[in-house]
Amino acid sequence: MLLARKGFDTFATMRNLNKSKEIIDVAKKENLPLQVLELDVTDGRSVVDAINNILKGKDSIDVVVNNAGYGLMGSLEDSSLDEIKAQFETNLFGAIRVMQNVLPIMRKQKTGIIVNVSSVAGRLGFPMGSVYVSSKFALEGLSESMSYELKQFGIKMVLIEPGVIKTNFAFIKPKKALDTNSSYSELMNKMQENLFSTIANGTDPKEVATVILRAIADESPEQRYLVGNDALALIDARKNSTDKEFENIIEENLLR
């Protein structure tokens, strides 16, 4: 919405168009250059169709924001391989699918910027986050490496690393973790309590949009943008602590 308000021809994509009413109403009311398209990042056909639909009316794609994601929250042991694969299918392979289809277009244009919405969890681990965190670590490594490959074509890569943001972010528990007999129940309950209270006090999602806009507008963007005071404080602590000290910080803050 912010990009459309700033005059970007914007294609807001979603896998379920039944959720599009609000954004379409606002776009109409404000006469914004925004269209809604269906796109499920786990479905290659859907990605290709969405990009083809964009190119029916436009001859370039200048900016891509890979934002789709959810969090599988539970211990590795309680997470089934299918649940882990599904997490990576959305958070990592979803972005890969979109990038592999859009890169030939950007390469021909000799310009473009890809914004991958990672997380502060792309830089540090936390209990019950092993699967989500590893999907974001993978996205970070992928994006960082790609930036070297793409420089020669004038394509920029940016990572957005929010801390806790007040959204409807879906935390999905692995089926096994719903069982109260799970050996990880106590740890899970502590984490859940802490996560829900931190989300209620999370950063306004508008700040994420503002940072994305800043990154896009920058001729020479940073590789990474942290969003939220919590993210800044955590990365600062990470930089200034040994691994052992940082482990204590995480445990004191998340498992108290």
- The residues that are catalytic are 118, 132, 136
Q: Which residue's CB comes closest to ligand NAP?
A: 69
CB of 42 to ligand NAP, least distance (A): 4
Of 165, 188, 215, 226, which one interacts with ligand NAP (CB under 6 A)? 165
CA pair distance 233, 48, nearest whole angstrom: 40
Q: 204: left (phi > 0), else alpha (psi -120 to 50), else beta? A: beta
Q: Does 224 bind ligand NAP (CB under 6 A)?
A: no
Token pair 């599009």 is at which residue?
20
Of 74, 112, 129, 162, which one interacts with ligand NAP (CB under 6 A)? 162
Stretch of 11-19, 145-153, 171-179, 238-246 lying at the interface with ligand NAP (CB under 6 A): 11-19
CB burial readout 32-68, b (16+ within 10 A) else e: bebbbbebbbebeebbeebbebbeeeeeebebbbbeb
Stretch of 2-10, 62-70, 102-110, 149-157 lying at the interface with ligand NAP (CB under 6 A): 62-70
126 vs 184, beta carbon nearer ligand NAP? 126
How many CB atoms are closer than 10 A to CB 184? 18
CA dihedral 207, 211, 214, 220 (to 10 degrees): 170
Q: Is 192 exposed, middle or buried (CB count within 10 Å of its CB: 0-12, 13-18, 19+)? A: middle
Footprint of ligand NAP on 176-195 (CB under 6 A) = none
133 vs 182, beta carbon nearer ligand NAP? 133
Of 7, 16, 22, 240, which one interacts with ligand NAP (CB under 6 A)? 16
Footprint of ligand NAP on 40-59 (CB under 6 A) = 40-42
On whether the CB atoms of residues 191 and 128 are closer than 8 A, the answer is: yes
Stretch of 30-38, 48-56, 143-151, 164-172 lying at the interface with ligand NAP (CB under 6 A): 164-172
Of 35, 69, 128, 234, which one interacts with ligand NAP (CB under 6 A)? 69
Q: How many residues bind ligand NAP (CB under 6 A)?
A: 23
Q: Does 23 bind ligand NAP (CB under 6 A)?
A: no
Footprint of ligand NAP on 115-154 (CB under 6 A) = 117, 119
Rg (C-alpha) for the chain, rounded Å, is 19
Q: Which two tokens stand for residue 153?
A: 């074509």
Q: Does 201 bind ligand NAP (CB under 6 A)?
A: no
Q: Which two tokens stand for residue 201?
A: 């006090």
For residue 202, give Cα distances in angstroms to 11, 120, 182, 214. 27, 13, 29, 21
Residues that bind ligand NAP (CB under 6 A): 15-16, 19, 39-42, 67-70, 90, 94, 117, 119, 162, 164-165, 167-170, 202
